[in-house]
Structure 1
Amino acid sequence: MECIQQNNWYMRWRWLKHLQIVDMIESVSRRALSGSSGSYHVRGAELARDRRIKTLAATVVFLDDTQHTFQLDKRAKGQVLLDLVFQHLELIEKDYFGLQYAESNSGSPSTSSNIDIMRWLDPAKTVKKQIRSKGGQFFFRVKFYVSDPSKLQEEYTRYQFYLQIRRDILQDRLQLPMNLACIIASYTVQSELGDYHSDEHGPGYLSKLQLLPGQTEEMEKKICELHKLHKGQLPADAEYNFLDHVKRHEMYGVELHKARDVTNREIQLGVTSNGLVVFFNNKRINVFSWSKIVKISFKRKQFFIQLRREEQLEVTEAMVGFNMQTYRSSKNLWKACVEHHTFFRLHSPKLRPRRFPLTLSSRFTYSGRTEFQTVEDGKHRARVERTFIRSPSKKLIHGVNQLPVPEEKGKIALAPARPPRPYDNKVQSLGSREPRPAWGEGNPSDEDEINRPHSQGGGAFSPVLGSRIISYVDDDSVIERNIYDLPDYSEPTSSPAPQIVEDGLVTIRLTPDEQGRFGFNVKGGLDLDMPILVSRVAPNTPADRCYPKLNEGDQVVYINGIDVSGMLHEHVVNLIRQSRDTGNGELCLTVRPNALYNALTGNDEISEEEPPYRYVPDAPHAAVGSDALAQSMLLLADGLASGALIAQYEQLYRKNPELASLESKKAENQNKNRYRDISPYDVTRVILMGCINSDYINANYVNMEIPGSGIINRYIATQGPLSSTVADFWQMILEAGSTLVVMLTTLVERGRTKCHQYWPNINETLTFRNLTLISTSEKTDDYFVFREFILRDINTGEERDITHMQYCGWPDHGVPSDWRQFTKFTETVRSARTGMVEPAVVHCSAGIGRTGVLVLMETALCLIEANQPVYPLDIVRSMRDQRAMMIQNASQYKFVCEAVHKAYTEGIAKPLLEFSR
């Protein structure tokens, strides 16, 4: 020990002597050379100057292609730059947005070709470390796509979303069907050019605007026709409708990541507000909702999700894995899932612990605000009145759809096609509009909107205005008047002319109908922190026939002279009910209209619309609330009571006009159809692989997704087999892997054959070319017959148990005699398919009427259990987009709607605990 200490003292002494010698030499050199010479280190001085400069230049490209350079401290974190950007834009609802940069520092914006190199700026890390250069270029983008635009309180926020989605469409990141693309493009035209005027908008007026990728003359004609229908919409309305349409597309708000599944197929994993979506060949093949995912993890290039086990299933695959391209892409997908789950599912972000445990795994957490916090903050924050300039569309150069290179640092100096309108820069408040459920009533398909005849009236029309239900173009037609029994406005109505109280306020008097109903519903109140607004108006009711009629969005200021601005919602509803119980039952409303009435401007033409169907409910506890399922049941009940539900059904297309059925028309296949006019769509038809003569059978795949649950009920909807197609029928079941067959007809009805007996009698065997079928049991229960078969593949020797259920008490074109028996049968079908991922085969005679009723009923029961709203018309539309004419007539549709409502009200179907909140 002493030797070591001596050695240390000796080394210190040597170092001190060295310093003394150096100081002595420098002193001598200064004295000897003083005044006779000099030196200046140029490069050293510049380096010292650079070290003193502690700023970093960051250029941000915004969604309107303008640019701005921000000066940052070199040690500044990403949050500092984000705050500067939000301050520059004066953006209030900022939590939906972020900054992207190219990881390879290529400086190019994210497109469909280079999306894999784009990274989101991490607020918690320094900017310099992320861009790895002295300066960098960032791109302002929407990071979290709001599920419904009505959640956005500020018009300027919606405008930024509008710009983002337009960019996604033009860069092919969001590919839309042509009809939907034309519809939303027409809203762009309305926002930029205003109302259509034949003297200003001549032929080809859209040819210079870049609206869609691959824009053609045919597209422009459709866009022009749709543009004519948006008369009267302000830019804010048109942009809101743009967002409201595009949100329904399955690719809306999807952040895609390239991957491979266990079979090494190239797939894409999409991160959304609802969960993780799997795409193959640009088609959605699976959905893993956040409610079903327990854990997300990654290891090197592998990405894993752990799913919640279902108690009903004996064995489930709890872990699902995917192979990513690189470790970096695997981690980026994991981070995207963490951020989206936190933002959309949690009330507040998970706090990072102060002291980290010793671990080698990533400690990344989302530190921003959640959507819940953003929306709640917007409810309690005063609206900001501000103006802003909208950016015009890019111009097409020589007919080529390319984004022009921005000039002068991205600023575009293109003049609008028409002089500015007085309301171009005025902020229109749309935040009070009620969110519309995904399965909402009265949302016709995109094809339906385009193919409807055009209105000849001068009233304003829009396929969707805010959260309103569609106003059809042909509302003024004779057909519509016959269906809804609309009165002639030249005749006296139940209400006198409106009385103008003061600027913006109108008094309307209503007298209840024979059933004591006024025909409208309200939302809002002091307890809901929003004004009293008209939320629903039922057709052919006093509220619909008044002059002018009450409209959705009108603000109720006084009821019978009583100020309701400070009342609770329940008190307002009671006040309305009390009116019909006193005197002549007249109700006096003083409202602030949400738009100018034609009656007040001297225009005799009244713009009619087809509203939803819901009255002020009789039960006080069921007035209005956040329970979308309960509200949908109220809509269903009122639609059944008024007959409007059937009127809507009868206006729905029976067959999707854009889907062909060419295979069924071939000569060799025509004799395989039981009915000449019932043909399967080519795109969803079942293709037989093991048949020698033909791959055709009159059957379609029908998949019904249950939102929010991750469940997809899969069916094969087919006709009752003919004697010549029995072998094809069982070959289809063999190839599809099905274990459940549901039969909704008898063999003979009223002396006519409806279906051939395609199964053997008990303990007998039916033999075909490559399979055999053995009947093992048969049991009869009231109107039901339950059979069990064994299906054996002769080639492989594989055997499969087949359950066969037959409903015998259901006549063709008719309805069951008892809704309880039908509901019981549906529950039995649901029980039999528990844990089954293969499609259930369902047929009647034609495979459309009774088959569609069962599919709708089972879908509705699943939606109720998942605590999701039930809108039967949208379910029918979804079915008819997969097999034509599902649910054959109005009596069948009314029956199943009544059965759904009764099953809910009597507690036969109710939300499961895991979906209850």
Structure 2
Amino acid sequence: MTSLECGQHSREVVSRRWLTRLHIFEMIESVSRRALSGSSGSYHVRGAELARNRRLKSLSATVTFLDDTQHTFQLDKRAKGQVLLDLVFQHLELIEKDYFGLQYAENGVSTTIPTSDIMRWLDPSKPVKKQIRSKGGHFFFRVKFYVSDPSKLQEEYTRYQFYLQIRRDILQGKLQLPPSTACLIASYTVQSELGDYHPEEHGPGYLSQLQLIPGQTEEMEKKISELHKLHKGQLPADAEFNFLDHAKRLDMYGVELHKARDSTNKEIQLGVTSIGLVVFQNGIKINVFSWSKIVKISFKRKQFFIQLRREQSENYDTLLGFNMQTYRSSKNLWKACVEHHTFFRLHSPKMRPKRFPLTLSSRFTYSGRTEFQTVEDGKHRARVERTFIRSPSKKIAHTIATVTDDKGKLAIPGRPSRSYDNKVQSLGAREPRQAWGEGNPSDDEGGFLSLREEITGSYTRGGAFSPALGSRVFSYADDDTTAERNIYDLPDYSEPTSSPAPQILEDGLVTISLTPDEQGRFGFNVKGGLDLDMPILVSRVAPNTPADRCYPKLNEGDQVVYINGIDVSGLLHERVVNLIRQSRDRGSGELTLTVRPNALYNALAGTDETSEEEPPYRYVPDAPHAAIGSDALAQSMLLLADGLASGALIAQYEQLYRKNPELTSLESKKPENQSKNRYRDISPYDVTRVILMRSANGDYINANYVNMEIPGSGIINRYIATQGPLSSTVADFWQMVLEAGSTLVVMLTTLVERGRAKCHQYWPAYNETLTLRNLTLTSTAENIEDTFIFREFILRDVNTGEERDITHMQYCSWPDHGVPSDWRQFTMFTERVRAARTGIVEPAVVHCSAGIGRTGVLVLMETALCLIEANQPVYPLDIVRSMRDQRAMMIQNASQYRFVCEAVHKAYSEGIAKPLPEFSR
């Protein structure tokens, strides 16, 4: 057979084999169709598995943001929570992201108003798929850690997100607040959204479409409108900052509530906050356990436990237990405590060990950044200038009253056009304000109005201001002081208090006579006054005190009409308190009150709601200054730490008068002197003002003598607290230095901040001479050290030829908002000031811009360090009171007060300041 024939034969064989196989397959298929007729089908196992893997390769997560917008993110099916968080932060372009988190409903239900009972925080370390039950996860972007002070937030966009969150908390009823406060806070929302009030644009009913507060009524809208008029000049960012600044003072601010039962099975709520664990019953705060007092938190099944620090007088540990609803709720509360303690109290989170010991307990730890790390990172990061769209308030779904203009046409309340509408404005881009002019109230150093202006809500020369909230009184009215002191048990009054029978007067008035107890206490508290736009009311009556045991009994809500025959209806709160104290200090100590029993006063006229509830009363020991020595100093430091942790320190500070109501400032109001004031609302007391003797420009300068005595040491630190010189008052400033014999000038501001002039340059450049009317000032040295600048001058009196060496110390790193970034650095600067004043009895001249805020911080810091060295107790509020009795408004705001108190405590606890050997015993 030839090769060609062989090849053809092979092909025929292969072809027959394929035909045979094809025939076999056709037979099998035919048999299969007949055998499975009526129920035929096939299932591809491998294909189904591949399709399943393709479907589950990604996971959809829908996030609802604080402005009610939504966005869906696609995740890998194995992605952990941190991946979703990063996508959300990237979507928002959020920089200060550590305060925020994502919540989801544990039962998998998607709702627009999630309730706290079923909501859980997304765990960044666990897969997203294992934390949700629904096929498509629904999450809510929320604030997780509420910052204690909005000035800590560096970015305007972050503050805006906080603003949205608190607005939501208020509207959903999570954040309860009295009507007066609700109207004030709502007025800032209106300012942010609508801008300045303009009568031609904002006619009657212009607020009726905006959903501002729960239970909004027409009377509330009128009150909000009146407050809105007072915010003239505030940009949206300013209004939102003021909104947050007032919201942070509310009792329920930043409280994460968990339902529980106490040992008697009563229903309570445990609130986790930045300061510790707060216990509520029927919506009333009944106890606070600060983190500084808690040494351990734990849970077992449905029980949650906290172990308290053992006090020096105790020989046992205090363990408190609470019954939770379920094991799950108990664990969630425990995790919330771990997270809040780590975030707010630690500099960095505790590192989880690589190998865990064999244990059945939970191994959860907070792995994110702490507040300290976030704030520190913000200080070293460049500010981001960005624009964003602000979300308007929701509209109320009700019939809107029609408003017609003067031509009878329908007028719809509109939103005015603003060049800065819904955009971030660089604070540095604003025009510098004139030292004296329209619309220029003081900035971060000022902004306070006289008491009369706060009452009436009026403002002269235009400009914006924020009316102060009515201060709440914690200490007794007949207490000598409200400083931070140790709390002790209620005294046992075994002897009844003798009180004459009450005299019933006309109009339902009753006269009650009280005599103080052996400690000089009447045992009641008052609130209100002309400065708070409220009548004088009895806010608390302590059990077993003269006020409680008198006949008839003095009750909460009683209106005090007369004190010892003096009508108190037109008196300031502080004056009323002084009247009560004066009664105690008289020979008999008898106090006669004329009261209207059970008088109810609405803080918001026209509503049925009562004014803001007072916190529980507290007893404080008498005359703490009588106890001196190391024990008293250590005890004062313990109280200082506890006050910082619990928030009581700030609450007490905010009760203190800004200006002594019994001291006048008439000289500053004279027409010839008004132009010498940098800020119209910062005026020196007449009794302590510096009087120029040889100035051709008159004897007035905006400055006060402030003397701080250090008990037990014979030291009196003397200061002249003054404003930053204007261009027109430079000669007066140096004349004051010359006449006072001062050789030290301390400057706590830069010349320009946020585009605004804070102080005129009142000194010459290095090696140059400044010539004034009868003075010359020559710069002989200038040394820059980090954020300090030290200069040396020679001040010469041209008329007498007298020369004097002047040391000039400038602190340059005070931020635009808030407080210095580094307490150690500020403490170091204060020590340099103390060293420079060694051996000098003449006053040191200290100034910032207005001469009250930063100036007060330095004076308090130096005074506290001197007290520690003299082995004397430190009570910061007493120091502030002493300063404000010499110059009004010293230490301007709560953030400055907290900063300096923290700095004092840290300086003591770290041994930077300690008693000198000659004062140690």
Name the TM-score class by shorter chain.
Answer: 0.5 to 0.7
Which position in structure 2 is the counterpart of 1:222?
Answer: 223
Which position in structure 1 is the counterpart of 2:467?
Answer: 463
C-alpha distance in structure 1 between counterparts of 2:46 and 2:242, whole Å: 62
Structure-2 change in CA distance of 1:344 and 1:575 (3 Å): farther
Q: CA deviation at 1:221?
A: 1.2
C-alpha distance in structure 2 between counterparts of 1:484 and 1:584, whole Å: 35
Which position in structure 2 is the counterpart of 1:859?
Answer: none
Are 2:60 and 1:62 aligned?
no
Which position in structure 2 is the counterpart of 1:97?
Answer: 100
Which position in structure 2 is the counterpart of 1:173?
Answer: 174
Q: CA deviation at 1:152?
A: 0.4
C-alpha distance in structure 1 between counterparts of 2:788 and 2:864, whole Å: 11
Q: CA deviation at 1:417?
A: 2.3
C-alpha distance in structure 1 between counterparts of 2:350 and 2:796, whole Å: 51
Q: CA deviation at 1:354?
A: 1.1
Residue identity opposite 2:886 in structure 1: A
Contact 1:520 1:614 (C-alpha < 8 Å) held by counterparts: no
Aligned residue for 1:222, secondary structure, equals helix
Counterparts of residues 45-56 of structure 1 (less than 5 Å): 45=47, 48-53=50-55, 54-56=57-59
Which position in structure 2 is the counterpart of 1:421?
Answer: 419
C-alpha distance in structure 2 between counterparts of 1:619 and 1:283, whole Å: 35
Q: CA deviation at 1:170?
A: 0.1
Are 2:485 and 1:485 aligned?
no
Structure-2 change in CA distance of 1:316 and 1:218 (3 Å): farther
Cα-to-partner distance string for 1:416-446 (whole Å, 9 max, x where unaligned)? 7232433530244599xxxxxxxx999999x
Aligned residue for 2:298, secondary structure, equals strand
What is the TM-score of this pair, normalised by structure 2? Answer: 0.52
Cα-to-partner distance string for 1:334-379 (whole Å, 9 max, x where unaligned)? 0000000000011111111111111111111101000011001001
C-alpha distance in structure 1 between counterparts of 2:417 and 2:426, whole Å: 20
The more displaced of 248-257 and 614-623 is 614-623
Q: CA deviation at 1:588?
A: 14
Q: CA deviation at 1:249?
A: 1.1
Q: CA deviation at 1:286?
A: 0.5
Aligned residue for 2:239, secondary structure, equals helix
Structure-2 change in CA distance of 1:31 and 1:115 (3 Å): same
Cα-to-partner distance string for 1:446-504 (whole Å, 9 max, x where unaligned)? x9997434235423333379xxxxx9999xx9x9995453234565855999xxxxxxx
Instruction: Report the aligned-residue RMSD.
Output: 5.7
Structure-2 change in CA distance of 1:610 and 1:186 (3 Å): farther
The more displaced of 244-253 and 536-545 is 536-545
Contact 1:539 1:613 (C-alpha < 8 Å) held by counterparts: no
Structure-2 change in CA distance of 1:538 and 1:234 (3 Å): farther
Contact 2:724 2:760 (C-alpha < 8 Å) held by counterparts: no
Contact 2:203 2:413 (C-alpha < 8 Å) held by counterparts: no
Q: CA deviation at 1:127?
A: 0.6
Structure-2 change in CA distance of 1:156 and 1:304 (3 Å): same
C-alpha distance in structure 2 between counterparts of 1:457 and 1:137, whole Å: 52
User: Greater relative contact order: 1 or 2 (C-alpha under 8 angstroms, separation 6 or more)?
Assistant: 2
Counterparts of residues 700-719 of structure 1 (less than 5 Å): none
Q: CA deviation at 1:635?
A: 4.4
Which position in structure 1 is the counterpart of 2:301?
Answer: 300
Residue identity opposite 1:271 in structure 2: V
Q: CA deviation at 1:512?
A: 9.6
Which position in structure 2 is the counterpart of 1:560?
Answer: 763
Aligned residue for 2:313, secondary structure, equals coil
Contact 2:864 2:874 (C-alpha < 8 Å) held by counterparts: no
Residue identity opposite 1:639 in structure 2: R
Contact 1:107 1:137 (C-alpha < 8 Å) held by counterparts: yes
Which position in structure 2 is the counterpart of 1:329?
Answer: 329
C-alpha distance in structure 1 between counterparts of 2:320 and 2:344, whole Å: 23
Which position in structure 1 is the counterpart of 2:78?
Answer: 75
Which position in structure 2 is the counterpart of 1:390?
Answer: 390
Structure-2 change in CA distance of 1:295 and 1:85 (3 Å): same
What is the TM-score of this pair, normalised by structure 1? Answer: 0.52
Cα-to-partner distance string for 1:806-861 (whole Å, 9 max, x where unaligned)? xxxxxxxxxxxxxxxxxxxxxxxxxxxxxxxxxxxxxxxxxxxxxxxxxxxxxxxx
Percentage identity across paired residues of the two chains: 55
Which position in structure 2 is the counterpart of 1:117?
Answer: 118
Aligned residue for 1:167, secondary structure, equals helix
Are 2:284 and 1:280 aligned?
no
Counterparts of residues 490-889 of structure 1 (less than 5 Å): 493=675, 519=703, 560-562=763-765, 567-568=784-785, 571-572=788-789, 612=853, 614=855, 635-642=880-887, 867=905
Long gaps (5+) in structure 1 = 1-25, 401-413, 432-439, 466-470, 498-510, 522-535, 596-607, 649-706, 709-862, 870-903, 911-917
Aligned residue for 1:267, secondary structure, equals strand
Structure-2 change in CA distance of 1:291 and 1:448 (3 Å): farther
Contact 1:236 1:428 (C-alpha < 8 Å) held by counterparts: no
Structure-2 change in CA distance of 1:453 and 1:80 (3 Å): closer
C-alpha distance in structure 1 between counterparts of 2:136 and 2:75, whole Å: 10
Counterparts of residues 202-281 of structure 1 (less than 5 Å): 202-281=203-282
C-alpha distance in structure 1 between counterparts of 2:428 and 2:346, whole Å: 26
Structure-2 change in CA distance of 1:566 and 1:594 (3 Å): farther
C-alpha distance in structure 1 between counterparts of 2:804 and 2:904, whole Å: 46
C-alpha distance in structure 2 between counterparts of 1:116 and 1:489, whole Å: 62
Which position in structure 2 is the counterpart of 1:150?
Answer: 151
Structure-2 change in CA distance of 1:173 and 1:34 (3 Å): same
C-alpha distance in structure 2 between counterparts of 1:576 and 1:268, whole Å: 63
Which position in structure 2 is the counterpart of 1:454?
Answer: 458
Which position in structure 1 is the counterpart of 2:353?
Answer: 353
Residue identity opposite 2:353 in structure 1: P
Residue identity opposite 2:73 in structure 1: F
Structure-2 change in CA distance of 1:868 and 1:214 (3 Å): farther
Structure-2 change in CA distance of 1:374 and 1:30 (3 Å): farther
Aligned residue for 1:458, secondary structure, equals coil
Cα-to-partner distance string for 1:536-586 (whole Å, 9 max, x where unaligned)? 996889679969999997556956255999944884476699899978999
Which position in structure 2 is the counterpart of 1:129?
Answer: 130
Aligned residue for 1:258, secondary structure, equals strand
The more displaced of 78-87 and 488-497 is 488-497
Structure-2 change in CA distance of 1:619 and 1:376 (3 Å): closer
C-alpha distance in structure 1 between counterparts of 2:906 and 2:181, whole Å: 25
Q: CA deviation at 1:161?
A: 0.2
Residue identity opposite 2:667 in structure 1: D
Which position in structure 2 is the counterpart of 1:667?
Answer: none
Aligned residue for 1:486, secondary structure, equals helix
Contact 2:861 2:904 (C-alpha < 8 Å) held by counterparts: no
